[in-house]
């Protein structure tokens, strides 16, 4: 096919397992402000934008100045942990990034994370060369499940939504892909059902022709 096609990657939980680093960063940054959070609170909010998480945790104390200070401290600690300790791609990621590039797919990051976080992760993975675009928290007004992040990424690559495939690990991201008119491959780490077109526990278990097969309905129109 001569028409462009694209894969839009979520980052946290899809390219990398960053959950523990985010937990440590949130826990310590909140504690430094005299605020405690439980691991259950963290898990219930994981993958959401900071400006939607902090009001829930801080309640009436959630002034803009305090939220900005905690969010900045949290993200700086998160990046420090990656720079210091490194991070590795989840199983199958490296192989698929390389295979998709060889097959002529365009690729972009479509993440709710701050751009600085995306960049430090791509540097740690030595993966910048695989991506022709990045859309991060600063580039959109609404977080997932709003489709804005995916539609923005598709626009930057110049690829229509029906020729884009999203790779996600969270229900909100899968719903965002559906609202964007895109097919979706979900990584379900615990094997639970997810409302995506294809669901696997690890990307190295994905069938070799999975991405092409998802585009066939669009190509047949």
Q: Is 12 a catalytic residue?
A: yes
Q: Of 152, 158, 149, 151, which Cα lies nearest the Cα of 106? A: 158
Among the listed residues 12, 68, 146, 162, the single catalytic one is 12
Condensed to tens digits (0 to 9), the pLDDT of residues 57-109 reads 999 999 999 999 999 999 999 999 999 999 999 999 999 999 999 999 999 99
Distance, C-alpha 43 to centroid of its chain: 16
Residues of each domain in the chain carrying CATH 3.40.50.1000:
6-17+88-219
Among the listed residues 10, 123, 139, 162, the single catalytic one is 10
Buried b (16+ CB within 10 A) or exposed e, 146-185: bbbbbbbbbebbebbbbbbbbbbbbbbbbbbbbbbebbbb
Q: Is 123 a catalytic residue?
A: no
Q: What is the pLDDT along the chain (221 residues), one digit of tens a residue?
A: 448 999 999 999 999 999 999 999 999 999 999 999 999 999 988 878 898 899 999 999 999 999 999 999 999 999 999 999 999 999 999 999 999 999 999 999 999 899 999 999 999 999 999 999 999 999 999 989 999 999 999 999 999 999 999 999 999 999 999 999 999 999 999 889 999 999 999 999 999 999 999 998 666 55
| Cis amide bond preceding 145, omega within 30 | yes
d(CA 118, CA 123): 9
Residues 6+ apart with CB under 8 A from 75: 25, 50, 114, 116, 117
CATH topology of domain 19-85: DNA polymerase; domain 1 (1.10.150)
Residue 9: helix, strand or coil by DSSP? strand
CATH code matching the domain that covers 6-17+88-219, chosen among 3.40.50.1000, 3.30.420.40, 3.30.2350.10, 3.30.1540.20: 3.40.50.1000
Residues of each domain in the chain carrying CATH 1.10.150:
19-85
Q: Of 206, 106, 198, which Cα lies nearest the Cα of 155? A: 106
């Amino acid at each position: 096919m001569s028409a462009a096609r694209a894969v839009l990657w979520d980052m946290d939980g899809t390219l990398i397992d960053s959950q523990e680093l985010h937990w440590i960063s949130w826990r310590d940054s909140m504690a430094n402000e005299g605020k405690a959070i439980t691991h259950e609170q963290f898990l219930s909010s994981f993958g959401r934008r900071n400006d939607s998480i902090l009001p829930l945790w801080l309640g009436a104390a959630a002034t803009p100045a305090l939220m900005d200070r905690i969010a900045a401290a949290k993200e700086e600690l998160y990046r420090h942990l990656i720079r210091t300790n490194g991070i590795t791609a989840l199983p199958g990621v490296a192989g698929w990034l390389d295979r998709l590039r060889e097959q002529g797919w365009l690729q972009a990051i479509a993440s709710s994370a701050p751009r600085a976080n995306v960049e430090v992760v791509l540097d740690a993975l030595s993966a910048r060369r695989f991506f022709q675009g990045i859309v991060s928290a600063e580039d959109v007004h609404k977080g997932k499940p709003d489709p804005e992040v995916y539609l923005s990424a598709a626009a930057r690559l110049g690829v229509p939504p029906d020729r884009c495939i999203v790779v996600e690990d969270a229900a909100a991201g899968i719903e965002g892909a559906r609202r964007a008119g895109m097919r979706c491959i979900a990584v379900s780490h615990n094997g639970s059902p997810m409302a995506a077109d294809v669901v696997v526990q690890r990307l190295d278990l994905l069938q070799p022709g999975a991405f092409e097969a998802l585009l066939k309905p669009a190509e047949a129109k």
